[in-house]
Amino acid sequence: MCARYTLTRAEKELAKMYNVQISGPFQPNYNLAPTQEGLVITADEPRIAQKMHFGLIPYWAESTKLNINTLNARSEEVMEKKTFAPLIKNHKTCLVLADSFYEWDRKSGQSVPYRFMLKDRGVFAFAGLWSQWKSRDGAEVYRSFTIMTTRANKTVGKVHDPKFRMPVILDKFAEQFWLAKEFAPSDLLGLCKPYPDEKMIAYPVSTAVNSAVIKGAINNSSDLILPMNSR
């Protein structure tokens, strides 16, 4: 599962890297958690990077209360799930911009967070699906997304075990493919593979990352991405 990630680069850098306009004010996030807003690029509006809530709310839901099961979508099961199948069939695909993600090593009995990054890319994209929910009176609109997952590679699997999951990280070519509307769902799902081990690095960080909110305030500090014991 991918339940926490980061996007720490400056707005201008992100806009240039993905050749997009960023909709609305943007602030770097060192500990992006469920219900918070991430930056996504959709197949419907590929020239805009827009903010949506992490954790998908289906359009047919009664409210915007988040179900933890919609944080991620298992790529092998997407076509079997009523929450996700209509989205990929109707090309509600998106790129979820990120520069790292966290996973927790609990083998020691403690919960030690690790930060996973790519060696050759400062910013990358998870494969995602998005949905738009509206209140019955149409007054409230809530856009949200889920991150696709696949089986873990060895780098991520070391944190838990080989059966662990990891987010689907797309290479630059696959990013364009994921947003293309002319391809069938089966073609898109073929992109959902573990990222190559040799292109990833990881290191432990402070357990301060474990809390998304502290005393009612979002826990978002640049110190969170520092290697453990370096603070």
Give me the active site residues, please. 2, 103
DSSP characters over 183-200: S-HHHHHTT--PPPGGGE
The alpha-carbon radius of gyration of the chain (Å, integer) is 17
**Strands 21-22 and 48-54, how do they pair?**
parallel
- Residue type present at position 82: K
| Residue 123 DSSP class | S
- CA–chain centroid gap for 163, Å, is 20
Q: Please give the Cα distance from 169 to 164 (Å, whole number).
A: 15
Cα distances from 91 to residues 32, 46, 49, 133, 184, in angstroms, run 25, 12, 17, 16, 9
Q: Please give the Cα distance from 164 to 174 (Å, whole number).
A: 23
